[in-house]
């Protein structure tokens, strides 16, 4: 087993935590914050948009089972990477599209993937996903962990997260845990 780590943000972490948890080869997914100036920020502080932090997932994965490029493919398919500081109704820098790469190899893979997406014009507008070197991860706490799995009947989960799960099961069936 070759455990690797990445951090990605693409809006509210509840929305994409449920997606990455379902991928075969993903060992652990933690919701939290990274990229800001405040040490150990609270959820309430990050929600103000003044800390510089983004809502992110810390994703630990076995790269012998799932490649980083596959994680990128899923990441770029479950959110709109062309909207700056916004995903759906969630607005602010804390909801920006961002990848914190942990190696030069990951950085190069990100740059190449974004270049290919831009050339394909898949999104119709340029990708605005920020790339940044590895940052300190701060956990959002237990309340935010497994949010969709524990609150799937809640309105936000049904209208915002559930469609992402449907898309994942339709488009990435071969990648799902059994």
As annotated, the active-site residues are: 12
DSSP code per residue over 93-143: GGG-EEEEESSHHHHHHHHHHHHHHHHHTSSSS----EEEE----EE--GG
**Greatest alpha-carbon span in the chain:** 41
Can you read off the two tokens belonging to residue 136? Answer: 């300190």
- Measured in degrees and rounded to the nearest 5, phi and psi for residue 60 equal -100, 125
Instruction: Give the 3-state secondary structure percentages of the chain, helix then strand then coil, rounded to 5.
Output: 40, 25, 35
């Amino acid at each position: 087993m070759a455990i690797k780590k990445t951090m990605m943000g693409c809006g509210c972490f509840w929305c994409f935590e449920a997606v990455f948890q379902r991928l075969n080869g993903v060992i652990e997914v933690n919701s939290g914050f990274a990229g800001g100036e405040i040490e150990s920020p609270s959820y309430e502080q990050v929600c103000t948009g003044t800390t510089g932090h983004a809502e992110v997932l810390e994703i630990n994965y076995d790269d012998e089972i799932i490649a980083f490029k596959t994680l990128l493919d899923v990441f770029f398919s479950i959110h709109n990477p062309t909207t700056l500081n916004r995903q759906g109704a969630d607005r602010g820098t804390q909801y920006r599209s961002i990848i914190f790469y942990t190696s030069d190899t990951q950085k190069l893979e990100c740059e190449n993937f974004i270049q290919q997406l831009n050339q394909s014009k898949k999104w119709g507008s340029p990708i605005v996903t920020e790339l940044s070197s590895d940052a300190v991860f701060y956990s959002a706490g237990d309340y935010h962990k497994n949010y969709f799995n524990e609150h799937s009947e809640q309105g936000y989960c049904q209208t915002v997260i559930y469609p992402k799960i449907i898309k994942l099961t339709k488009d990435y069936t071969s990648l799902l845990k059994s």
